[in-house]
A and B are shown apart, each in its own frame.
Chain A
Amino acid sequence: MVGIKSYGAHIPRFRLDRNVMQLALLFLGFAPLRGEKAVANWDEDSVTMAVSAALDCLRDEDSGKVDGLYFATTTPTYSLRQNAGIVAAALDLNTSVRTADFTDSTKSGTAAMLAASDAIASNSLNSCLVCAADCRVSKVGSNGDYTYGDGAAAFLLGKDDIVAQIEGSYSTSHDFVDRRRLEGERLEHMWEERFIRDAGYMKFIPEAVSGLVKKYNLSIQEFSKVIYACAFSSAHSALGKTLGLSPEQVQDPLLNNVGDTGVAHPLMMLVAALEEAKPGDKIMVVSFGQGCDSFYLTVTENIKKMKEKRGVKGNLASKAPLGSYDKYLAFRKQIPAEVGIRGEEMGFTSFSIVSRDNREINGMVGAKCKKCGAPSYPLQRICPNPDCGAVDQMEPYRFAEKKGIIFTYTSDFLAACIDPPASYGFIDYEGGGRALVDFTDCDPNTLKVGMPVEMSFRIKYADEKRAAVNYGWKAIPIVS
């Protein structure tokens, strides 16, 4: 019995009102969609959002048992250096983990789910984490610019204590060219919307649904929720009728509050469906890319014991308006923004350091003194406790998942930052240890000494000269 043991999601804090976009872009035409879209902070990308969703998913789980990590995205940071490897490093998974990137199509998230499910069913893997995230950038004023949102979902798959069993799947492949990007391109190209709607969504989604239903002798009425990834709002409604679904059976597509999150889209909807599911519920998931993957799950009794997750619901409730379309363009490097001559001198990247000290940098693993118990970060060979000073009595100690409080802080306008001021400070961690870290997702006016924080894996800085995006851990102050 293979299924989902746990789930998690990440929706970035910032939301961009499509009316705000419309005001800036009216000269190009009207917005195809209303509401708001979730936009990644400047220091987020698919890799960091996958890590955030994975942390949500792995909370209260034993990450030491995870032996597979599949990461799906159409917006990988690197095309040579495995992105799943960065996610695994950030989660400080065992090095004996099978990692793979699934990419190139918005259905690669479901492909990763099915590959993980098969690997577990065949006893090749025991516990596989599947992360899906996208942070897509489209031409200014394009359909994608308006409709795409940023987000991530993560699932832990295994055989024991599952909350939803994966029962069966049906997949199709059509070399259908709705959206495309050549190797090395950053912005997408999209073909005619009417073509995509009529020859794509309206054709392939019903095909995948009926294929699955026929293959397993099901009836569409058996499903409590049907999830299908259709980024056109009116086509999404029309499909419900075509498929013969009652309104209650249609899972909300998150288009007006998050947007179309690409590979993550159907899987975020699955997280949202599981948040409301009862034992015995049947849920169908249909992705859309060059064809579709469809699969269905039956929710088990364990869903009642599911530990609280931030999930989609929690993330939707926690938000701040970005306020300005220009800021969005600067965050996504759609327009060159002045960060000062200082900013142009930002750090050199030494990959021998990034590799040698990877656990310390990407996993935020410091040291804990076996003699006096003092944790320290950065990693030390000699205990910094002046009353101890033990040499080489350290064991690895991970700070990334520790909560902390602000010891002191500043909000700095001199520091080169695309969203000044750069806020940072010293954090005192629960269980001991103090470290100087950047803050993110925060309003400088709310900062206070003693304020609680949690850590988040983010981009530290991009080193374009050396083709590097450098990651690390930052503190998110929690406003109570």
Chain B
Amino acid sequence: MAEGIRDKVAIIGMGCTKFGERFDAGPQDLIVESFVECLADAGIDKKDIQAAWWGVHMPDISVGRGATTLGLTLKLPFIPITRVENFCATGSEALRGAVYAVASGAYDICLALGMEKLKDTGYGGLPLGGGFGYKMPLINSNLTAPGGFAMMATKYFSKYNLNPQDGKMMLAKVSAKSHKNGTLSPKAHLRKEVTVEQIINAPIIAWPLGLFDCCGVSDGASAAIVCRADMAKKFRPDPVYVKSLQIAVSSGEEMMYTKWDGAHVEAAYRAGIAAYKEAGIKNPREEVSMAEVHDCFSITEAVTMEDLQFSPRGKVKEDIEAGRFNLDGAQPIQPDGGLKCFGHPIGASGLRMMYEMYKQLQGKADKRQLKDPKIGLTHNMGGFPSMNIVSVCIVGK
């Protein structure tokens, strides 16, 4: 009988670069910047790392495929390294590899590092990059990331009878909250407060989503060192324990069958259920102190609140309006500003989210520090609402 990974593995060190349009930095700079901080934070030696998981989603525009980049850049001494890629959950997938390896008993100490260098493409938005194969453009629509998620906003508005003005207002409040939090994050890409009026009046990117409904496009890297839970306190007094790490992947029924309502992400709901079960959480709305969710677009965050059972179905608007998810609310979401302010260097994002949960649980989140959080959750969603990969990771003291 499988018993899961709850409390078997601890995070003892983390690092995160400054995120942004790092025209000053190449992939090597970003990898080293996150690794140096991570290693110093863990207080271990490079030679103590027994295996590594390396996450990069679009290596063809930055470092190429395979695991050699990490070995060559960090001069790791012939240890096993695996490159992982799983859309926007790539960073969380790297962490999952390292955590599962330690939980299995194969290793004591492992590294997870995720990096993405997006801003060498010459344009905004994510690279086209053949990520869906040669056939997809011949079959599917001329799809972009904002367009894919905008369709969920259209459907959400339609399903819950929100007129476009009210719907956009709800989404604007999601982004305004994150922009406010971002001003307190020195490593964030966008550190400017934005008013609801500015958000609503911004140019449309993909109707109904405007500029401020979309997260930034950034470069960055983030890293974690994990070890056996029973040895964690040897390295530091305040390790953070992994309670669960679950991934759910679409079965195709959302996009190819007609049952899906288009106003939620089924894999997020399923990954949430699995993660809560593993972590022993009965009431996510009450028990999860804080979360970094995949707010690639404002609508994604809103719908994720319902998928993760923080808000009842169709009721997230009430919670948003009540300020539940603000930094001073009952259940703060994106305390660091989220993808909205950090941008989304794909391979790095999952680990960047974990960096914030880790710092918050250690009481080291500076001006963003929440009062005594117990349980933190990270959520990544890769692909489109109609077909995707969702990761949910729960950590605690």
- A residues neighboring B (CB under 8 Å): 340-342, 345-350, 353-354, 357, 360-361, 374, 376-378, 380, 384-386, 407-417, 421-422, 424-426, 428, 432-434, 436-438, 444, 449-450, 460-461, 470, 472
Contact = CB atoms under 8 A, between A and B. Distances in A.
A426 B151 contact: yes
Nearest to B259: A386
B142 A436 contact: no
Interface stretch (B23-31, B109-117, B122-130, B282-290): B122-130
A353 B133 CA distance: 11
B284 to A, nearest CB: 24
Contacts of A472: 138-139
Interface stretch (B201-209, B319-327, B364-372): B201-209
B144 interface: yes
A41 B46 CA distance: 61
Which interface residue of A349, A361, A386, A434 has the most chain B CB atoms within 10 A?
A434
B137 A436 contact: no
A384 B252 contact: yes
Nearest to B128: A345
A461 B255 contact: no
Contacts of B158: 408, 449-450
6 contacts: A341-B123, A357-B138, A384-B251, A408-B158, A412-B206, A436-B143
B258 to A, nearest CB: 5
A408 B253 contact: no
A361 B140 CA distance: 10
B152 interface: yes
A412 B127 CA distance: 16
B4 interface: no
Given A412-B142, A412-B150, A449-B155, A421 B207 contact: yes
A415 B147 contact: yes
Interface string B48-63: 0000000000000000
B256 A425 contact: no
A432 B258 contact: yes
B144 A415 contact: yes
B376 interface: no
B141 A436 contact: yes
Interface centre among B139, B158, B203 (most CB of A within 10 A): B139
B257 interface: yes
Contacts of A426: 151, 255, 262, 386
Nearest to A406: B154
Given A411-B207, A413-B204, A353 B135 contact: yes
B78 interface: no
A341 B155 CA distance: 30
Interface in B241-265: 251-253, 255-259, 262
A342 B143 CA distance: 12
Residue from A410, A413, A428, A470 whose CB has the most chain B CB atoms within 10 Å: A410
Interface size class of B (residues with CB under 8 A): 35 or more
Given A342-B123, A414-B147, A407 B130 contact: no
A460 B151 CA distance: 20
Contact of B124 (A357, A414, A421): A414
A340 B123 contact: yes
A424 B145 CA distance: 13
Interface of B: 121-125, 127-130, 134-135, 137-147, 150-152, 154-155, 158, 203-209, 251-253, 255-259, 262, 386
Contacts of A342: 123, 125, 127-128
B142 A416 contact: yes
B183 to A, nearest CB: 27
B206 A384 contact: no
A236 B268 CA distance: 68
B257 A414 contact: no
A444 B204 CA distance: 12
A232 B64 CA distance: 61
B147 A412 contact: yes
Given A349-B138, A380-B256, A409-B151, 17 more contacts: A340-B123, A341-B123, A345-B128, A361-B138, A376-B257, A380-B252, A408-B152, A410-B207, A415-B142, A415-B143, A415-B144, A417-B142, A421-B204, A425-B141, A432-B258, A438-B141, A449-B158
Contacts of B139: 360-361, 378, 472
A460 B386 contact: no
B150 A410 contact: yes
A436 B140 contact: yes
Nearest to A429: B258
Contacts of A450: 158
B134 A350 contact: yes
Contacts of B145: 414
Contacts, number: 149
B218 to A, nearest CB: 16
A409 B150 CA distance: 8
A357 B205 CA distance: 33
Contact of B142 (A386, A422, A433, A449): A422
Nearest to B203: A413
A428 B258 CA distance: 7
A342 B127 CA distance: 7
A444 B142 contact: no
Contact of A377 (B124, B256, B386): B256
7 interchain residue pairs of minimum CB distance? A424-B141, A410-B150, A412-B147, A384-B256, A347-B137, A408-B155, A412-B206
Contact of A386 (B141, B203, B206, B257): B257
A347 B143 CA distance: 12
A432 B139 CA distance: 18
B68 to A, nearest CB: 26
Nearest to B152: A408
B147 A424 contact: yes
Contacts of B152: 408
Nearest to A340: B123
A376 to B, nearest CB: 5
Contacts of A407: 155, 262
B269 to A, nearest CB: 14
Contacts of A425: 141, 151, 154
A340 B127 CA distance: 12
Nearest to A449: B158
A426 B384 CA distance: 12
A92 to B, nearest CB: 16
A409 B386 CA distance: 12
A436 B258 contact: no
Contacts of B123: 340-342
Contacts of A413: 203-206
Contacts of A414: 124-125, 144-147, 205-206
Contacts of B125: 342, 414
B140 A386 contact: no
Contact of B386 (A347, A415, A436): A436
A169 B253 CA distance: 58
A253 B253 CA distance: 52
A386 B135 contact: no
A424 B256 contact: no
A347 B253 contact: no
A425 B123 CA distance: 24
A444 B257 CA distance: 26
B147 A410 contact: yes
A342 B130 CA distance: 12
A349 B206 CA distance: 27
A388 to B, nearest CB: 9
Contacts of B155: 407-408, 449
Give the interface centre of A346, A350, A374, A384 by most chain B CB atoms within 10 Å: A384
B137 A341 contact: no
Contacts of B258: 428, 432-434
A461 B137 contact: yes
Given A341-B123, A472-B138, A436 B255 contact: yes
Nearest to A382: B252
